[in-house]
Amino acid sequence: MRSIRVETSGATVLLTEAPEPKVKDRQTGEIAKDAQSGETLMRLGVVYIDGGESSLLQVTVPESGVTEGLALGAPVTLIGLIARPWDTVFNGQQRHGIAFRAEAIAPAAISVGAGA
């Protein structure tokens, strides 16, 4: 399925859920791994604010892309963020959504406006 690059340069992104290993199978507790590298995938939550609107997003990042110094509520930068539409049938019901994945997450540099 097609991936869509998400432009984040004009947005404010705040960390709302600390990175934790992404669970692939809730019944067995199996942790999700990247299909190509075999690296553990991490799941985290952010609020994405742009144009006066906000959205809560769950984002998947490889473990090596999680930078030190992240703090809940603090601004972060999502490097290489993409959105990928998905759909599936679960228990006979059609489900669909958008999965978000980034190459890395790092604390954002806080810029001070000219009027400050």
The β-bridge relationship of strands 93-101 and 53-62 is: parallel
Q: Do 105 and 79 touch, CB atoms closer than 8 A?
A: yes
Tokens 């590298």 found at = 37
What per-residue string of b and e applies to 35-70 under the rule 16 or more CB within 10 Å gives b?
Answer: eeeeeebbbbbbebeeeeeeeebebbbbbebbeeee
Give per-residue pLDDT as tens, 92-108: 899 999 999 999 999 99
Give per-residue pLDDT as tens, 9-66: 899 999 999 999 999 988 898 999 998 899 999 999 999 999 999 999 999 999 999 9
The total of other beta-carbon atoms located within 10 Å of residue 13's CB is 22
